[in-house]
Chain A
Amino acid sequence: MSQQTPGNSAPLPPRTGLNTVVLDPAHGGTDQGARGTEGISESDEVLQFATATKKALEAQGFQVILTREGNDNPSFDDRSARANAQRGAVFITMHIASTGLTGTARVYVEPDAPQANNITGLIPWDRAQTPFLSLSRKLGDLVQQELSKRFKGSPDTLQTAPVRQLRTTAAPAIAVEISSVSVKERAELDRMVPGVADAIARGLVEFRPTYVVPTIPVPGESVQP
């Protein structure tokens, strides 16, 4: 793939400050994601979670962008591009699984990856997440701690998994997966919406002062996240 994230030939100085949160309700359109009881589909439910989270974040002063607001299905790259076009953004992709202990939530980040041996000073699109991994872990830890306080049975620590959506995102990025569409009745999932929104908002409030936008490397220099 020849795409590159917006890169710079001159180094940009480190900068504190989190400006924008990109929320990604996964799936959509013909891709309904997980399907469960009472005709629950992941793509519909996750939109409710994202909408409530947007409100909770805006109440804390964040600017929020949703990758979709209706029943459409942007590509992985289009979703990542919403964050990659910003400076000082974080990206949260939201999912509802068809398995797992109902009433729990898990946070995933990409596994460790070696830094690209890059001579152009640009971040390769396919590995855009790599320079942001330590920030993603910090954000993931904070959000997971908030989730495990609210949802008994959720893990205390974040998980790692090669989630496709995260790989091309040039920003601190986490996936939040809620269990599950296999609840006995829809109301069980609906009851989780405020808690998930609040946990994410509080995690981000804690993360905000520590967020330093990584320096974009120039040829011959290593990345300093």
Chain B
Amino acid sequence: MSPKWTVWLGGVLLAAVIAAALYFPALRRQVNKAKDLTEKTAEQARRELLPVAPVSTGDPMVKVKMFWGSRGQEGELLPVIVELPLSRDPVLRAKQVLNTLLAGPVDAESRTLPPDAALLAFYILPDGTAVADFSDEIRTSIPSGIQSEQLAVESIVRTLEDNVPQVLRLKILIHGQEADTLAGHVDLTQLFRVNAKDVAGTQLDNPSPPGSSLPGPIRKAVDKMRQATKR
């Protein structure tokens, strides 16, 4: 081979190496993206299928009180006024305020619920008992501890109390299932009293361990959610 061809061949090979080096990072990004797509969990897929609580443009803007953590006072909640086009339907209204609570305040430090947690379902039974079903992340991503779990539950309860008067009691489910605790500390077997006028307070009258004697209507709602989760 003549020296001239050797130079040409060397040049072509060098250009190929440079092109490959430039293309490789882009290729790796595409591979990772494809991998993320295939690793999407069943719950993520289900969440995408769930209809988001509609924000009707016809609904009037209402000032609502959201309860997030207080930066100044540790372990306390602080009401924050937010304007939302709030539905008159209590279930849609509850979904709207809970989704706003999950979306979090402007100041991320005041968050009470994990940013990746989602509200999967929400029902209100005729007796005023509401059932809120959250995704697994509410348990797996919340900072561990009594204080943080208590703040999470209290922020949900007080936000509902202030904005959805039809809700008297609340049962919290995780991924369609009854849970013993939120993340190892706060008791979820009970019904939380939401509205002060619920003087009967089934919450503490009737703590119901997982799988045992839940009141009939709640049992039906739980079964319904379990069915939905299986699908």
Q: Would you call A97 and B209 a contact (CB within 8 A)?
A: no
Binds A, one of B14-22, B32-40, B129-137, B140-148: B140-148
Q: Would you call A114 and B205 a contact (CB within 8 A)?
A: yes
Q: Would you call B145 and A126 a contact (CB within 8 A)?
A: no
Q: Would you call B184 and A99 a contact (CB within 8 A)?
A: no
Q: Would you call B74 and A100 a contact (CB within 8 A)?
A: yes
Question: Bound state CA distance, A95 and B147, in angstroms?
Answer: 11
Q: Would you call B147 and A100 a contact (CB within 8 A)?
A: yes
Interface size on A, as a range, is: 35 or more
* Chain A CB within 8 A of B224 CB: no
Q: Would you call A163 and B201 a contact (CB within 8 A)?
A: no
Question: Bound state CA distance, A167 and B204, in angstroms?
Answer: 10
Q: How far is the CB of A177 from chain B (nearest CB, A)?
A: 5
* Chain A CB within 8 A of B75 CB: yes
Question: Bound state CA distance, A43 and B36, in angstroms?
Answer: 33
Q: Would you call B144 and A164 a contact (CB within 8 A)?
A: no
Q: Which residues on the A side are within 8 Å of B115 (C-beta)?
A: none
Q: Of A34, A127, A164, which one neighbours B181 at CB under 8 angstroms?
A: A164
Q: Would you call B145 and A114 a contact (CB within 8 A)?
A: no
Question: Bound state CA distance, A13 and B185, in angstroms?
Answer: 34
Q: Which residues on the A side are within 8 Å of B70 (C-beta)?
A: none
* Chain A CB within 8 A of B187 CB: yes
Q: Would you call B144 and A42 a contact (CB within 8 A)?
A: yes
Number of residue pairs A-B, CB distance < 8 angstroms: 85
* Chain A CB within 8 A of B207 CB: yes
Q: Which residues on the A side are within 8 Å of B189 (C-beta)?
A: 126, 164
Q: Would you call B148 and A98 a contact (CB within 8 A)?
A: yes
Query: 1/0 per position for A148-186, CB-CB distance to B under 8 A?
Result: 000000010001011111010000000101011000000
Q: Would you call A175 and B204 a contact (CB within 8 A)?
A: no
Q: Of B75, B186, B204, B212, which one neighbours A163 at CB under 8 angstroms?
A: B186
User: Do A167 and B187 contact each other (CB < 8 Å), given the known contacts A1-B212, A111-B204, A159-B75?
Assistant: yes
Interface residue ranges of B156-184 to A (CB < 8 Å): 180-181, 184
Q: Would you call A100 and B185 a contact (CB within 8 A)?
A: no
Q: Would you call A97 and B186 a contact (CB within 8 A)?
A: no
Q: Provide a sorted-by-A list of 27 A–B residue pairs whose CB atoms are within 8 angstroms.
A: A1-B212, A26-B184, A27-B184, A34-B144, A34-B145, A96-B145, A97-B145, A99-B143, A99-B148, A100-B75, A100-B145, A106-B75, A114-B201, A155-B75, A159-B147, A159-B150, A161-B146, A161-B150, A161-B185, A163-B146, A163-B186, A164-B180, A164-B181, A167-B187, A167-B207, A179-B145, A180-B145
